[in-house]
């Protein structure tokens, strides 16, 4: 891998005294993971938790300080809930962005309304009609965040964990071009983990994720690799041999998947795309199908045939409530002693990245940043995901090359959708957003009249969360029977 000319640079971080501003600090899942990772890190400092749900931020602050009292803790951290956003950001070294609106009022509509129009999406979180509406809800708020960062901590390192990562990270840079921001996602980490399983099962050798290196490129949740190595050994011939084996040629029925979690990854979409195009997708199949949309044809049976199970709106609604979800962390149950607490590292790498920025080490990680030449086949400025070298005071993407024509065509179609929505968000122009909506590769399976109706239904269902858009001035909405705003 050759380093790109560009990147972001700022002052290094004092790893013994890091000030982290966590916007979305009432998080039900990611924040508790972070607190455990920080407790086991070589870092120390303070974490200011800000959330519009201040009570949730206070609960998490209590939990963070509770974690610090465990015997196994290695680091010294102090957690505080801060009601004022600017106060939380003032002078911060690092900013974490991790937010989500109540899925019962938003996400369920992203899933159910497109399904009523024949679009049987698997996740509806980062692209497709549901992903676009999640972006429309989120982008205006992140423009505000970027403006506040510009005023309160302009040189801070900003880590965006909020989906849709490519839309949101693009919005941060669109509002504040000099921001030191990266979008981060663990899908590539899981791809490296899956490759370790192949090494263990096919080569009979014990492997760890750190033994695997890949050249990653694309857009978030639609990343690809054309090079994979295990301790320097080329894995590509092994992968090419596996394409014709049973491992890469399985089929499933809805009954086969009945007891599976929607997060179970059978990797059959990954193998099929590798078979057809010669490059390997580097994200979970449940995300890939939202971008390679032919896998959505045939509804439930068509999706399940590839081992992919739809995440239901009922699951998303319950996921918001820790008492009803096995995945969402219930910190109160830990603190009250109703559930056993274990202190272990999540295998995320945020703490490693902060340590590297402080000069503790140099590392390579996949990040989402504006394209400045690291991917040759995608327009400059669009947010792309590649590897980057992270070291003291610097995050520098590596050049990753381009794609076979069919892959390039699919990716650039999604980039056009993303850029169209970003452009529309500058003025809140709903009609421009609808034009971008029509570009989406899932939406394009519908006649324009039905796409128009679906768009208006989504606006009507989520109107409370779209107040930064000019709904009253939209001719598209005025023409729609489904919208009575």
Active site residues: 186
Grouping H, G, I as helix, E, B as strand and the rest as coil, residue 93 is: coil
Report whether 401 contacts 376 (CB < 8 A): yes
Question: Helices 448-462 and 107-116 meet at what angle, rounded to 10?
Answer: 150
CB 220 within 8 A of CB 166: yes
- 258, with CB counted inside 10 A (0-12, 13-18, 19+), is exposed
* CA–CA gap between residue 134 and residue 316 (Å, rounded): 14
In terms of phi and psi (left: phi > 0; alpha: psi -120 to 50; beta: otherwise), the region of 373 is: left
Contact 153, 91 (CB under 8 A): yes
The Cα 161–Cα 27 span in angstroms is 11
Expressed in percent and rounded to 5, the helix, strand and coil fractions of the chain are 45, 15, 40
User: How far is the C-alpha of 378 from the C-alpha of 151, rounded, in Å?
Assistant: 31
| CA distance to 248, 280, 465, per residue, from 202 (Å) | 13, 18, 49
Q: Where are the alpha helices (DSSP H) in 28-127?
A: 30-39, 54-67, 85-89, 107-116
Closest CA to 13 of 390, 396, 365: 390
Give the whole-angstrom CA distance, residue 153 versus residue 21.
10
Terminal Cα-to-Cα distance of the chain (whole angstroms): 53
């Amino acid at each position: 891998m050759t380093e790109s000319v560009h990147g972001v640079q700022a002052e290094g971080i004092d790893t013994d005294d890091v000030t982290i501003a966590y916007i979305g600090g009432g998080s039900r899942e990611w924040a508790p993971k972070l607190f455990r990772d920080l407790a086991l890190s070589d870092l120390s400092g303070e974490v200011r938790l800000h959330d519009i749900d201040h009570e949730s931020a206070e609960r998490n602050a209590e939990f963070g300080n509770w974690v610090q009292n465990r015997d196994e803790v290695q680091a010294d951290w102090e957690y505080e809930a801060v009601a004022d956003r600017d106060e939380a950001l003032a002078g911060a070294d690092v900013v974490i962005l991790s937010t989500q609106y109540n899925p019962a009022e938003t996400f369920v509509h992203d899933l159910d309304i497109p399904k009523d129009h024949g679009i049987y999406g698997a996740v509806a979180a980062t692209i497709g009609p549901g992903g676009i509406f999640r972006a429309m809800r989120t982008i205006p708020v992140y423009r505000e965040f970027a403006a506040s960062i510009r005023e309160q901590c302009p040189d801070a390192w900003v880590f965006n964990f909020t989906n849709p990562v490519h839309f949101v990270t693009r919005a941060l840079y669109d509002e504040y071009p000099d921001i030191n921001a990266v979008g981060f996602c663990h899908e590539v980490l899981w791809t490296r983990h899956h490759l370790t399983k192949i090494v263990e099962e096919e080569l009979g050798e014990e492997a760890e994720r750190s033994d695997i290196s890949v050249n990653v490129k694309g857009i978030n949740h639609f990343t690809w690799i054309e090079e994979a190595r295990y301790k320097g050994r080329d894995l590509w011939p092994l992968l090419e041999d596996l394409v014709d084996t049973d491992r890469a040629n399985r089929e499933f029925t809805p009954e086969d998947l009945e007891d599976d979690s929607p997060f179970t990854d059978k990797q059959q979409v990954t193998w099929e795309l590798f078979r057809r195009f010669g490059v390997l997708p580097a994200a979970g199949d449940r995300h890939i199908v939202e971008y390679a949309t032919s896998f959505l044809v045939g509804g439930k049976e068509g999706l399940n045939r590839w081992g992919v199970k739809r995440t239901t709106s009922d699951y998303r609604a319950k996921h918001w409530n820790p008492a009803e979800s096995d995945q969402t962390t219930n910190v109160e149950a830990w603190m009250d002693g109703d559930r056993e607490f274990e202190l272990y590292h999540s295998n995320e790498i945020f703490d490693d990245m902060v340590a590297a920025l402080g000069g503790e080490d140099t590392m390579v990680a996949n990040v989402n940043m504006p394209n400045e030449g690291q991917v040759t086949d995608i327009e400059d400025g669009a947010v792309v995901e590649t590897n980057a070298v992270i070291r003291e005071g610097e995050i520098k993407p590596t050049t990753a090359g381009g794609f076979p024509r069919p892959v390039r065509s699919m990716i650039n179609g999604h980039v056009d959708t993303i850029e169209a929505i970003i452009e529309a968000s500058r003025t809140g122009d709903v009609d421009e957003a609808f034009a971008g909506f029509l570009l989406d590769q899932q939406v394009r399976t519908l006649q324009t009249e039905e796409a128009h109706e679906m768009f208006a239904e989504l606006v009507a269902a989520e109107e409370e969360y779209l107040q930064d858009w000019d709904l009253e001035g939209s001719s598209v909405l005025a023409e729609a029977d489904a919208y009575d705003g």
